[in-house]
Amino acid sequence: MRRADLLVDICSQTTYPGYGYFISKGFDTWPEAWNAVTSGSQMHGCYNGIGSWFHAALGGIQPIPNAPGMQHILVRPAVGVRNILSASAETNTGFGKVAVHWEVDAKSRAVVLLVTLPPNTKGLLQIDAAQGAVQEGGLDVAEAEGIQVVSERNHTGSNAREFALQAGTYRLTYQLDT
């Protein structure tokens, strides 16, 4: 899930053997085999695993192991990957719907990230943000209700930041590294 850039390349590649290849050939379902442009079943589930990547990587919605029914949720969206400027994902859990939506302004690299966690859940949000303020609802994230700063920098020295989130809806703004 950490190499979303590679999967973006595979999904958008319009030559064989990329997923975009099927789209360039007019397919609206996955064929039985990569080379099934002229024959074979035009609806086969063997390549549908890519669909989970959209939720788990681009949207960033992932379960935290040993937490039943996604009571603890990892939110690690692939914000700023390649030329993707926005993504939305949602999934139903035993506690309700988890939703993530993000947008990047192409010129300023400003990010707006919306995260919704259902009642009786907690989240761990991981983002890569340039040095400077991460805000929630216009407040510095350290002052925002329902958010606790866990880490401002990881062991590799990148601008990875982690925040513990209580159930609720958050609107975070920050800058991507350039």
- H-run or E-run covering 147: strand 147-151
Taken in order 49, 50, 54, 58, is the CA torsion positive or negative?
positive
Res 43 pLDDT > 90: no
pLDDT tens-digit readout, 100-143: 999 999 999 999 999 999 999 999 999 988 877 899 999 999 99
Write the CB contacts of 147 (distance below 8 Å, at least 6 apart in sequence): 136, 141, 163, 164, 165, 166, 170
Comparing 174 with 21, which gets the higher pLDDT? Answer: 174
Give the integer Cα–Cα distance in Å for 60 and 74: 7
Residue 74: the pLDDT is 94
The two three-digit tokens of residue 1, written as one number: 């899930």
If you average pLDDT over residues 144-157, what whole number do you get? Answer: 76
Q: Set out the domains of the chain in order of their start, with CATH numbers.
A: 4-47 (no CATH), 62-175 (2.60.420.10)
CB atoms within 10 A of CB 41: 11
Residue 178: the pLDDT is 63
Q: Which of 73, 95, 92, 93 is nearest to 170 (CA)?
A: 73
pLDDT tens-digit readout, 69-100: 889 999 999 998 888 899 999 999 989 999 99
Q: Which of 91, 89, 115 is nearest to 174 (CA)?
A: 115
Res 172 pLDDT > 70: yes
Comparing 57 with 53, which gets the higher pLDDT? Answer: 57
- H-run or E-run covering 22: helix 19-24
If you average pLDDT over residues 29-56, what whole number do you get? Answer: 65
Mean pLDDT, the chain, whole residue set = 83
Q: DSSP 3-state helix, strand, coil percentages of the chain (rounded to 5)? A: 20, 40, 45
Res 29 pLDDT > 80: no
Q: In 143-153, which positions are buried (b, 16+ CB within 10 angstroms) versus exposed (e)?
A: ebebbeeeeee
The two three-digit tokens of residue 59, written as one number: 């949207």
